[in-house]
Structure formats: structure tokens, C-alpha cells
Structure 1
């Protein structure tokens, strides 16, 4: 798995730039009589709504400490997995597919327990959603706010549009965000959340929808400690997910009269090197909850470019040797959960999470999957140090993600309020 498909891309980083033990895992199944189990639920989900059906085709690959394949399992017909956790299992790779693309998710240094509800998306299930198309009339709103762009569910609205809305049969339509962004300086943004459950054929946008004080946005000002923030955006979060997303270079606002949970995310990118084959960049970012929007926010983006590059460079040089390699990102950032690796290709995506410090094994896959990896056309690879300024390392993050996956809401727990990351990214031409 660390074969030519990965090393060929990683060698770009080395060419462009000149190239221990981790967090304690729940290895309750190691040693003696093993009664621990690994459980999880695998589902396919529509894109247009939250309709789900069991995914009995998923594969669950158990690896030994050295990365070799120990066993391969599949969920039952209901998409449920419940297997004994072998004493010599140390890592897990989950294999699913989304719209014909292969998705692999590897967790290094993990133990028995709950994998949570694992969802892969399938456009073919959209036919099972209950959908309606509404004629959206924004003439009155456009006339009342001629110096604003009007966006409905993130899409620019002209005087008259048709828009499709979908839901799970028998359920409720999700809230729809209406956003007015100013086109002249020093003007305000306005927003509203719309309920379209009672609309059967049309949706008329009137000026009174955004006329109350609660509909006024508050411009978010922030302190740039990094001297060069390249991107900023704000959003509100409710049970239906993110709403009222606003991006720089325009002024960004939040809507405390609408959302109890508002966030600011800022990031910075810096080119490290370029070759005819691609580019290498350093990226850092921070997301914070905005509780006092009238005050100047201080996201404080991390700045550990040299440490990140040194750690990734050491890891890559070891990977080129084709054997297990020790890595250490534990001294980078504040209370980071661990190391993440993301590989994006035309045919597949691979994500990996691991303790901030540990050993990257020579991971192996079944022969058919190995062949797909070797033939993959890699577009991007990122090595990331990230977390939520919470203690507990990668295991605490995994537990929170499992709990979130089973919560039935898109309103994230407070654990996720304070996101912090840095990465080294290779983009292959």
C-alpha cells in the first residue's frame, strides 16, 4: 500500500524541497482470553435526502501490527457488523464505494469497540427521496434590496427560478437559508431560515422575511496573527447542518438572531516548491465558535511550517525504503488529535488517521485492492496534523465521531467547536 502509487507522488515533495509509541489505544483484546468485539453499521445514503439502505458490500480489513492482512469481514444483510476482535489485530481499514468511486478509511493503532454509522453516498438512491419543485419568485425582495445579492440555499437567485427540495418520505423538509449579501460598502447582510413544508407549488420571497432585527447580520472582524490570511468564511450550524455560509473576500457575517451556533474559519496557504510535475504547499487553519460577534475575533492560526515539513520529510524518506517507519508530530500544535493522511485520485480516495506519534507500518491490502491502488491516478496527497484543542488524542476524537454518527442530528457536539490544523499538500499535475 506504500507502493509506487504513493511513493511516486511523494517523491515530488522530496524533489521540490530537497528533500516511538503513540496515544494509548483501547487494545482490550490483546492477551489472554479475548471477549472484545468490533461493531459498526454500514449504510448507503442518497445525495438529495437522508434516505438510507444497508450496505452489505462494505469490507472491513483487520491488520496485524506490521500492517499485514489478518482477516477480512463484511456486514450482514442489514449492514451491521459484529465480530470478535482478534488479540493480534492492531489496525482497521474500511472499504466502501460512493457513486462508483472507491473509498478507504484506515485507523492505525485502534482497538475493539464501535465503528459507528458509516455512510457512503449513492446518487441512485435519489429516486427514493420525496421531492417537489417550487417556482421561486424573488421579484419583491429584489426590488426592496437592489444593492444586495440574493442567495437561496447558497445559489444566486434571479427574479424567478425553479428549485427542487427533497426529503425522506414521511419526514420533514430541511430548513432553507435565505441570504442577502451587500454589493456596496458598509451595508448589512440579511438572512432568514425558511420552512417550505407547506409550500406545494411556489415560494414567494417577500421583504418582510428579513425585516426584523434578528435577520440582520453582524460583520465578523478578526485579528490576523499570521500576516496573510488567504481565506475566511463564516456559517451558522443547526440540526440540518451549515447555513448562511459567507466567504471572503467579501465581508463575512454571522446571524446570532437566527443561529445559536456561529463559526469563523480562517486559513493560510504558502507555496513551498514547484516542479513540472506539480506543487507543494503548506496550509494552516483554525475554526472557532463566535460567541461575541461584536468583538474582534482572535483565531490565532498555528505557524509550524518548518516543523511540519521536517516531520513529513522524515516520514516520506522512511516510506521510500518500503518498511515500517517511526514518525512524530506530537510536538506540533496544541492538543492535536493526531496525524491524518489524505490521498485523492480519479478512481479512489484514501483517508488515514493515527496517533500523533507512532509507527507507520507497511500496510497491505487484499490483492484486488492493491492492484487498484497501484493503477490509481493520484491527484493530491496531504499529510496533516489536526485536532480540536481537546485532550485524549486520536482515541477521544474517534469516540466523538462515533457518537456524532449515531446522534441523528447535524448539530455537532461542543467537542468540535475549536478546529486546528496544519498540512503539507502535494498536488500532482
Structure 2
């Protein structure tokens, strides 16, 4: 399924860098939406993806059902380009799994002629800078091309140059640590092989790692809820399987069901976890502040305090579902302007503060709110939200529409940001609001 997209040069924002491509980091949903918009506008680009295939991080949790139905998951420009090939848009109200999102939408999008040949898989971005300039140099900075250093699967390190950079690398690969301090718990290296990433495939490929064992799920968000439900179902089938749930607050308000949630699958998720706790299928341990971990036989022991008293909990395996944060290490030489609390762009942060906003109450925003003191550099998608959990894919699509319009010199279109989101009540602390 392919179609030709006209990528012949067109006038873009006047700049000595205009002949260089825009570099997009990440071939996930928002990175590919950026590719579609750039292709549609005839702007040269390259997409750098660390994984070996499209949407590599989505595939890791692909067994999980999303909250949003298809009508919020398909970028309008991508839909138009795909439709020209005979692609059929999935039914609006159907809620897909992550694998279905990839197979039915993202993979076909990545295979379009004009996009496919511009994606480089197995290419990890190591750092981003300006040619001949660290972050301290100012004179002529805006005229210097970006330099993106990458490492391929063979370990070869090379550099690409571009006129702009769109970082859509996401946050799933950067989990928050288990310790309540925001740091890795003391002793974590000795027990790291007994701690697994959020959203393991408990009922599928990873079932044997959990069956007949005691699993502790740490986290108060929807990633935790999905895993708890799957573990409880596994316990019904495999004797000896036990499930505990650790949260650091007195109650898990973020997974409670809300009658105002227009994403009913998410509301039902909270109700199902509440029912599992009520019938004893999941043992809830609240108010546990984790500080350290240590091996305990073939398992792991969590150590800390509970209601100001020393407390510990043993498990065979721990699932870290404490949420995600942006990996900013590769941006050390870029001039960023980030909010001190949520690590989102400073002008965006007040619009997404999880203390004031849910996924559905985030205001429309575009290139202005996403701008940094580094001209031509943008963080978009989940990574743009820093540690805030209020992201929806539809938000990311509007972000890249505005950013690519600005890069094309179409200031009017860039400024006309519009976004219609579902009212969602309480949002998840783990960012899985897609």
C-alpha cells in the first residue's frame, strides 16, 4: 500500500539552513504524524528511530488496550495521505490495543512512499547540538545547523545536520524510579533483575514470569491498574499467584472511576481495580514510602516507611509502574526552557499541570508554547509534557501540525491551534492516556 508524495523543494521559512532537512527523533505516533505533515508540505526531513521497526516503544506494551477510541488516534493529514491509497479509517468508536494501533495505522503510515525512505531504524540519538557551538555560545547561533549525533546497531557513531529538530522520542523508556524521593532506591543494582518495566504482558508472553509467584505492583496510575487486572486474571487460572499493590498515598485517586469521564474504558478500569481490592484478589498496601531494595532469597524486599514506621514487603517480582519522565541527557547542549516542576516547556507547563488539569481540559497549544530559546528546536508528544500525565495523542497531532506550519513559514496556520478533547475526569499518573 503506497502512494507518491510530492517532496520537491518548496519555499520555506527564509534561512541559510533552508536546504537542510528537519530531523525528527522517534518513529512513534507523534513522530510519524510530524513526518506526514512535513511530507505534505514538501519539507525535506529524516526520522531517526532507535528501534528496529516503527513504533518500537508502543509494541512493548502493544497487548494493552488504549483508553481512546480511533477517532482520537488518527492524525487528519496522515489519514488523508493514507486514504489516497485506499486505506480505510477504523470505526470511530472502537478502542484498539497498542498492537492494533501499530498494525492498522502506524505501520501503513510508515510504509507510504515519501515517508518510508526517510526513516532510519536502529539509529539511536546520542546528543543534539549546534555545529561548532556548545550551549554557551550565542553569536550566530540561529544560523548554525543542528548537529545530531547517532549510534547505529553496530556501534558506529556518526552525525547528521539539520535546520530544525523535532524531538518526539517519548518517555516510555524512561521510567520514574521506585523510591518515593524520585531517586533510584538504595541497593537497586543488586535486585535489578527482579524489577520489571511497566505493562508487562502478564497474560501472554510474560505469563511464566508471574504465574505461581507473588508480584508487587508499585504505582497509582493506569499502567498499574492494567497490570493488576491482568495479574488477578492470571491468579484465577494459575494457583499460587498472588498480587499486592503498593501506593505511596493514602488512596489511589488516579485510578478511581469518574462519572464525568468521556473515555468509558478508563472509567471502567478504575472500577475493576476497586472491585479486585474489595474482594481480596489484590492486596492494597497504601502509604508506603519506598527507600531501598535488597535481594531476599530468589526474590526482592522493598524497604521504607509506612505511616512513619519502618516497613518492608517481600515479593518474587516487582513491577515498576510509577510513571515516566523525559530523558533530557541527549539535550545537554541545547538551550531549553523547562518548567522547574514538571519539566515541560515553560509556557506549556501551566496548561498541563496535573494539579489543575486532566487529559481533556488541556488548552490548545502549538509552536509558541513549545518553543525554547534554541530557535528551530521543539519537544513534542508525550515528552513535551515532561512528568505531567495529561497527554493524549490528539494533543500531539495538533502540536506537530502547528510546528510544521511554522517551519514552513505559514505563520497564520501555525497560530490557529484548535483541539477538541474528551472530558476525562481524573488523569493517570503514568502518562498512558492515549
TM range (shorter): under 0.3
Q: TM-score with structure 1 length normalisation?
A: 0.22
- Structure in which a larger fraction of residues adopt helix: 2
